Structure 1
Amino acid sequence: MLRKLLPVLCFLIFTACGSKEVYLFSSFHEPANEGLRLLYSYDGYKWTDLNKTFLKPEAGASKLMRDPSVVKGPDGTFHLVWTTGWRGDQGFGYASSKDLIHWSEQKFIPVMQHEPTTVNVWAPELFYDEDLKLFVIIWASTIPERFPRGIEEENNNHRMYYTTTPDFKTFSETRLFLDPGFSVIDAVIVKQDKGKYALVLKDNTRPNRNLKMAFGPSALGPYTGVTEPFTGNFIEGPTVVKIKDEWLIYFDVYQEKIYGAMRTKDFKTFTDITKEVDVPKGHKHGTIFKATKKQLQNLQKAAAAK
Structure 2
Amino acid sequence: MPASSLLNLSPTPSPLGEQWCPKGLMRDPFLLYHPPSDRFVLLWTTGWAATTIGFATSDDLVHWSAQRAIEVTRGLADPIVTWAPEAVFDPDSGSIEWSNLEPTKGRLTADEKKERQKAYRNASQSYWQTPKRIYYTLTADFESFTPARLLFDSGYSTIDATVLRSEGHHRMEWRYYMAYRATMGDAVSLYTAEASDMTGPYRTIGNLSALVPVPTEGPSLVEWGGCFYIYHDMYEDGRYGVLLAPSMHKPWECDGCRE
**TM-score range normalised by the length of the shorter chain:** 0.7 to 0.9
Match of 1:145 among 104, 117, 129: 104
Separation (CA, whole Å) in 2 of partners of 1:205 and 1:117:
24
Shift of 1:126: 1.5
Deviation at 1:53, TM superposition (A): 3.0
C-alpha separation in 1, matches of 2:21 and 2:183: 25
Matched, 1:108 2:90: no
CA contact (8 A) 2:177 2:195 kept: yes
1:195 paired residue number: 174
Residue 195 of structure 2 corresponds to 216
Map residues 82-101 of structure 1 onto 2, 5 A cutoff.
Answer: 82-87=44-49, 89-101=50-62
Moved more, 111-120 or 251-260: 111-120
Q: Structure 2 vs 1, CA of residues 168 and 186 (structure 1 numbering), >3 Å: closer, same or farther? A: same
Q: Please point out which of 43, 59, 65 is paired with 1:81.
A: 43
Normalising by structure 1, we get a TM-score of: 0.68
More divergent stretch after superposition (45-54 vs 257-266): 45-54
Of residues 230-239 and 178-187 in structure 1, the stretch that sits farther from structure 2 once superposed is 230-239
- Call closer, same or farther: CA 1:243–1:115 in 2, change over 3 Å: closer
Deviations 1:200-230 (A, max 9, x none): 1111343221100111001211101353235
* 2:238 pairs with 1:228: no
SS in 2 for 1:227: strand
Cα offsets for 1:154-176 (capped at 9, x unmatched): 56311101111111111111111
In structure 2, how many angstroms separate the alpha carbons of the residues matched to 1:99 and 1:157? 38
Structure 2 counterpart of 1:136: 95
Deviations 1:97-132 (A, max 9, x none): 1111221121101122654643311000111113x1
Distance 1:51 1:119, change over 3 A: farther
Q: Aligned partner of 2:79: which letter?
A: T
Matched, 1:253 2:253: no
Residues 158/57 of structure 1: CA separation in 2 closer, same or farther (3 Å cut): farther
Q: Go from structure 1 to structure 2 and tell me whether the alpha carbon gap of 1:157 and 1:58 turns closer, same or farther (over 3 Å shift).
A: farther
**Distance of 2:105 and 2:246 partners within structure 1:** 37
Q: Which residues of structure 1 form unaligned runs of 5+?
A: 1-22, 24-42, 282-306
Secondary structure of the structure 2 residue equivalent to 1:124: strand
State the Cα deviation string for residues 270-291 of structure 1 (Å, max 9, x = none).
110015xx5xx5xxxxxxxxxx
Deviation at 1:251, TM superposition (A): 0.3
Aligned residue runs from structure 1 range 253-272, under 5 A: 253-268=234-249, 269-272=251-254
Give the counterpart letter for 1:186 in structure 2: D
Question: Which deviates more from structure 2 when the two are superposed, residues 240-249 or residues 120-129?
Answer: 240-249
Equivalent residue letter for 2:44: W
Say if 1:214 and 1:107 are closer, same or farther in 2 by CA, change over 3 A.
same
Post-superposition offset of 1:144: 4.9
CA root-mean-square deviation: 2.4
- TM-score, normalising length from structure 2? 0.79
Identity %: 28
**Are the structure 2 counterparts of residues 44 and 242 from structure 1 closer, same or farther at C-alpha, using a change threshold of 3 Å?**
farther
Between 1 and 2, higher relative CO (CA 8 Å, sep ≥ 6) is seen in 1
Counterpart position of 1:182: 156
**Structure 1 SS opposite 2:206:** coil
